[in-house]
A and B are shown apart, each in its own frame.
Chain A
Amino acid sequence: MRTRVKSSEQQFLFDLQQQQRKRFQMVKWLGVLIAFSIVIQALGLAKVFAELVLEGSFPLNAALLAGAAFLFKTVLQYVREQICATASRTIRFSLRKRVVEHLTHLGPNRLQIDEDAGLSTRVYEQIDALDDYFSRYVPQVFLVLFIPLTILIAVIPVSWIAFFIFALTAPLVVFFMVMVGHKAANANRKQFTVLSLLSNQFMDLNQGMAELKRLGQTDRARERLSLTASEYQKTTMGVLRLAFLSTGTLELFSSVAIAMVALYLGLGLLEQLPWQVGIAPVSLFAAFYLLLLAPEFYLPLRQLGSDYHAKQKAEAAATDLQEIFAAEPSDFMATSSSKLPDKKGNGALIEFENVSWSTSGRVRLADLSASISQGERVWLRGASGAGKSSLMSILLGFDQKFDGRLLIKGQLLSSSMLDEWRRRLAWLPQTPEWIQGTIRQNLELGLGKCHDADLRNALIKAQCWDFVGGLRFGWDTPIHEAGTGLSGGQMQRLSIARALLSQADVWLLDEPCSGLDSDTAEQVLNTLDEVSFGKTVLIISHDTHPVSWADQKWLMKEDGVYVEA
C-alpha cells in the first residue's frame, strides 16, 4: 500500500509552498468565508423561493441577503484567485532566479545535466508548469475538506435525512475515488510519460531531418511518426477511459445525490414518502435550502479531480528541477574554506600540491603535484577521461572540493582572491564561446568598449585580419549559431584575438585544435606560439597535435600526472 511518506518531489514542492505560507494561510481564511457565504446565499434564496411559491410574496430582506452573499462570494473568489496567482508567481520567479544562479555556479559542469537548450526548457517551461499546482491545486486541497464539512454542519439543523445522504455519500465518494483514482493516477502517470516519449521522438526525428533526407528515409520516418501516434492514441484512450472514471464517479455521486435529495424532498413535501405517508418531514424552505447546498457539497471535490493533472505535471517538472539542484556546485559559494593555514609556496605562479579529486567513488582527477612559473608554457596531454578538463575546471574556480592544495603565488586560492585571479585568465575551449552578435561584440565580450586600434591589433596578431577584412561588414558581421561561413580554424583564431584583447596573462586552452585538420591545427598552434610568448599557458592537446614550443610537458594517466622535462 501507499505510505504517507512524501516522495522527494512532493517534499520539493512542499518546501516551495512554505515560502508563501502567509499567502496560502490567507487563502485558507478566504476559503472559510467563501464556505459561509455559500450557506448564507442558500438560506436567502431558499427563503425567497419558498415564500414566492407558497404565498406569492417576495421577501426583500432575504433576497438582499442572498444577493449580498452572492456578490461577497464573487469578490472573495476574485481576491482569492489574485492571491493564489501572486503566490504562484512569487514562487516560480524566485525559483527561476535560484535555478539560473545555481547553473551559473555549476559553470562548465552544467552540461553534465543537459545541453543549454534543454536547460532553458527547464528554466522556463518546466518552472511555469508549476503554476497550476500552486495557483489551483494547493488552495483547492483545503477547500475540498472545509466546504463539505461546513455544509454538512449547516444541514444538521434542517434535516437529518439529508445530513445522512451527504454524510454517507461523501465517504463513498472518497472510497471510490481512492479505488478508481489510484488506478487512474497510475494510468495518468503512464500516459504522461508516454506523451513525453512521443514528444521526444518527434523532436529526435526532426533534429535528424537533414540526415534522414540524405538517407532518403523521410517517408519512412513520417510513417513511423504517424503509426506511433495512432497506436498511442488507441492505447491512451484505453488508459484515459479508466482515468476519467475517477471524475466520472464523482460526477455520478454528485448527480445522484442531488437527484436523491430532490426526490426525497419532493416526495416528502407531497407526504408520499413510503415510510411516513401523510407527514411532510421538511418545509418547502428547508427543501430549497438543501437542494441549493447539494451541488456545492460536491463541487470542490469535482474541481480537485479536474486539477489533479496539475499535480502530476508539477511532480514531473519537479523531477527535472531537482536534477539541477542535485548537481552541487563545488565552487566557493558552496564550500566554506576550511583548509590548512597558508604555507609559503615555492614562488611559482601556480602550484598544485597533491591535488586529486573524486566524486561519488569516481576518480575525476588523479594525483597531481607540479608547478607553473610565471611565463611558463605547459602542454598537458593524456587519455580522454583522465581528468584534464576537471583540472581546467579547478583552475577556473568552478570546482573547489578537491583534495590537496592549489596555491596561486604561494597563497591558497580563496573566494576573496577569486575575482582577481579570474580576471587574469583567458579561456579557450574546444568550441569557442560565442554569443549572438557581431564579431566585434564577441571580441569585446565582458570587456566593455575597446578602441578600434586595440581591436585591429589583436586581429592582426591572431592572423584574423585578412579574413575579417574580407567580410562585407568587417568586424560588424554578425555571428549566428549556425552557418557562419567561418571555418573552425577561423573561429578559433577569433577566440585567440579575444584572449589577446583581454590582456589576460594566464591562458587556459582546452583542446583548441581538436576538430581542426592537421594543417590548420599546426597553423593555429604556430599563431599561439607567437602571441602567447611571455604569458603563462596551460594547453591541453592530443598527441596528434603536439605543442612543440611548450616549456613543460605533463602526461596525465589514470594513476597520476607525470611531469616530463
Chain B
Amino acid sequence: MSKRNPQLLTFKSLLLDNPFGLLVALLIGIVGSLAAVALLGVSGWFLSAAGLASAMGTALTFNYFTPGALVRLMAILRTAGRYGEQVFSHDHLLGLLRSLRLWVWDQRVNTPLNQVHRQTKGDLLQRLVGDLDQIIKWPLAVVMPWGYGLLGCVALLALGAWVEASLVWPIIIYSAMQLLCLPWFANRLAMSSVYRMQALSVHRRSRFMSVFSALITLTIRGHWQHYSERLTLLDEKQRKLQGRLQGVTSLIKLLGQTTTFLLIGVMFAMCLSVENESLVITPTISATWLVALVLATLGVNELMQPIASAFLAQGQSKVGLKRLNQLQRSALEAADKSKSLPSIESLIVRNFAGSHNDVASSALPSVNFTISGNAQIKVVGASGAGKSTTLAALAGDLNYRGEVMLNSATVSLFDNSCWREKVAYLPQQSVIFQQSLRANLLLGKPDATEAELFDVLQLLGLKGWVEALPSGLDTLLGGQGRDVSGGQARRLCLARILLRKAPILILDEPFDGLDSDSVNRVCGALEGGLYRPQFLIYVSHIESALDQNSTHVTL
C-alpha cells in the first residue's frame, strides 16, 4: 500500500502495512498485559502459600526467593510493557497515517481532473481527513485489545487446567462469550446505528453547507427558522443514535462483567463440595492455586474492558475504508498516457468545445483554429459562450469534443501529463499554497534563482511589496491565499506560470487586478521579452497591446 501500486484498502492491508511494527507493539503489549494479570495471580499465590506455610509451621523452610523475585519481575515487566506498547503502537500509528495519506494522494493524482474538482469542493476533503484519522486507530482500538484478550484467555485456560482439568470448559465458554459472542451481539445491536450515524452526519453537514450558503436570502425572506429547524431535526436524530450507541457500549461492558462474575461463581462451585452441611474445598485441589486463578480471572476481566467499545471503532473504520476506496474507483479510470510528445510545430484545433461532463455544456459552441510558428490567439465571445471552458479544455483540465492535432497527429489533451509539460495555464481561480512565497513561486520552476524570482516579481509590480515584507521571499502565506489580496494572489499565480516558460501559454484573464503599467510591462515581456512563449492563447476583457498582434477566434 505504501508503494505506488494502487489497490483497494482493506483491513488486511492495514495490518500488513508495517507488520513488523505492529507485531513489536503487539508483543510488548502482550508481555505487559500478561504481566499485569500474573502480578496479581502470583502475588495471590505467594500470599496464600506463605500464609499456609506459616499456619502449618513450615515457614522456615519456605522458599520465598523465587515468588518474591517473580513478583518483582512482573512489576517491572508490567511497567516496561505498558510504556513500550504505547511508544511502539504510536510509532506504528504515525507510520500508518503517513502511508494512508500517500495512498490517498496517489489515488487523487490518478483521478481525472474534472472529478478532482468535485472531490476538492466543500467538505469532502475534510471528511477524507477525518476518515483517515479514524482508520489509523483501527489496529489500536480493535486488533490490539482483542489480541490481549485472547492471550489473557489462553493464559487463564492454562492456569485453569493446572488447577483442575474440568475448569477448562467454563473458561473456554467464558472466552468464547467475551471474544466472540459479545462482540457479535454488539454488532447485531448497533452496527446499523453506526452506519446510520455516519450517513446522517454526511447528510447533516451538506444540509448545513447548503442552508448556510443561502443564509441571507433565507433570513430576509423570514424562512430561516423553517430551514434551521430541519437542521435541528437532523441533529436530534444524531443525538438519539449517539445515545443508543453509548447505551450499547455500556450494556456490553455490563454483560462482560457479569460473565466474569458467573465464571468466578462457576469456578468456586466446581472446586467445592458439601461436607457436614458446610462448603469445603475439594481435597484434590490446591486452595492456593485456586486463589491465584480467581485473582487472575479478575485481571483478565480488566483486559476485556476495551473490547466492549471496539465494535464502534470497527464500524466507523469500515465505513471510512469504503469511502476511501471510492477514491480508488474513480482513479481506475485514469488511462496511462506516458509517451512523451514531440516539440510543437503546429497545432490544429477542430470543432473543439470543452465539456463539464455536465448539463448545459452540449449547448456550448465549438471553435476551429490552426496555429503554427509563433502565434497569439485571443479567444473572444459573448458571456456564457464558454471562453473559460475552452481554455480549460485546451489546457487538459476538462473533457472536450472535437479534435486536436499536434504536428498533424491526433493527440488527446485531457489529463495528459505529457501535454501538461508543454502548457502553462493560468486558470480563473488563483491557488496559493500554505507555504513560503518563494516555495509558491518555485512551483513554476523548481530551480529558479533568486534573481529570476525578483525579475518576474518586478515585471508584475510585486517587487516593492515583497521587499517591504519583513521576511521577504520567505514570508509564509496562509492557506488559500488568506493573507494576500485577490489581486496579489492573481499576480503571484501569473508569476508562477510565467516562470515555467512552457511553449504554450494559456491565460484566462491575466490582467485582472493589474494596473495599466504592469499590463504594459507584461505585454512587452510576452511579446518580445524574456517570457515569450511559442504560442499564446488568452482570454481577457481588458484591452491590451497584445490584442493588436493576435488572431481573434470567436466562439
Evaluate contact between B75 and A52: CB separation under 8 angstroms: no
* Complex interface: chain B residues within 8 A of A240 (CB): 86-87, 90
- Within the complex, what minimum Cβ distance (angstroms) separates A426 from chain B? 8
| B209 and A483 form a contact (CB under 8 A) | no
Nearest CB in chain A: distance from B295 CB, A: 8
Given the contacts A74-B261, A229-B97, A520-B384, A447 and B71 also touching, CB distance less than 8 Å: no
A88: nearest chain-B partner, CB-CB: B246
- Are B86 and A244 in contact, with the CB atoms below 8 A? yes
A101, A205, A266: the one within 8 Å of B433 (CB): A205
Bound: A50/B48 CA distance, A: 7
Taking CB atoms and an 8 Å cut-off, the chain B residues in 478-492 that contact chain A are 479-480
Of A5-13, A112-120, A339-347, which binds chain B? A112-120
Among B94, B253, B281, contact of A237 (Cβ-Cβ < 8 Å):
B94
Contacting residue for A63 out of B247, B268, B434, CB 8 A: B268
**C-alpha gap A236/B87 in the complex (Å):** 10
Task: Tell me the nearest residue of chain B to A506, going by C-beta.
Answer: B220
B125 touches A206 (CB 8 A): yes
Stretch at the interface among A315-323, A358-366, A432-440, A548-556: A432-440
Does B270 interact with chain A (Cβ within 8 Å)? no
Contact of B64 among A266, A483, A485 (CB under 8 A): A266
B361–chain A nearest beta-carbon distance, Å: 5
**A211 interface hit (Cβ, 8 Å):** yes
Complex interface: chain B residues within 8 A of A124 (CB): 201, 204-205, 208
Structural contact, B541 and A103, CB atoms closer than 8 A: no
Complex CA gap A471/B360 in Å reads: 6
Does A519 sit at the interface, judged by CB under 8 A? yes
B360-403 Cβ-contact flags toward A at 8 Å (1 or 0): 11010000000000000000001110101000000101000000
- Report the bound CA distance from A435 to B226 in whole Å: 15
CB pair A49 B54 closer than 8 Å: no
Known: A215-B443, A262-B71. A483 touches B356 (CB 8 A): yes
CB-CB nearest in chain A for B36:
A255
A232 within 8 A of B: yes
Closest chain B residue, CB of each to CB of A257? B75
- CB atoms of A396 and B222 under 8 A apart: no
Q: Give the residue of A220, A266, A422 whose beta carbon is less than 8 angstroms from that of B47.
A: A266
Complex Cα gap A52–B291 (Å): 8
Mask, A243-274, CB within 8 Å of B = 1, is 01101100110011011001101110111100
Question: Are B101 and A225 in contact (CB-based, < 8 A)?
Answer: yes
Whether B457 sits at the interface, judged by CB under 8 Å, is no
Bound Cα distance A429, B109 (Å)? 35
Docked CA distance A381–B74 (Å): 79
Residues of A within 8 A of B71 (CB): 259, 262-263, 266
B216 touches which one: A60, A108, A247, A519 (CB < 8 A)? A108
Please choose the segment from B114-122, B152-160, B528-536 that sits at the chain A interface, where 4 or more of its residues have CB less than 8 A away: B114-122
Q: Does B137 contact A (CB under 8 A)?
A: no
Contact, CB under 8 Å: B291 / A100: no
13 A–B contacts from the bound complex (CB under 8 Å): A53-B51, A63-B268, A70-B261, A78-B251, A86-B243, A212-B443, A255-B76, A435-B211, A446-B218, A467-B360, A467-B363, A483-B357, A487-B388
**What are the 5 A-B residue pairs with the smallest beta carbon separation, nearest first?**
A520-B383, A446-B221, A284-B51, A485-B360, A517-B541
Query: Can you add 20 more A-B contacts, CB < 8 Å, to A85-B243, A214-B427?
Result: A58-B268, A60-B279, A82-B247, A93-B239, A204-B479, A209-B108, A212-B443, A213-B116, A229-B94, A229-B98, A237-B94, A266-B71, A269-B47, A269-B53, A287-B51, A422-B221, A478-B359, A490-B384, A517-B509, A523-B383
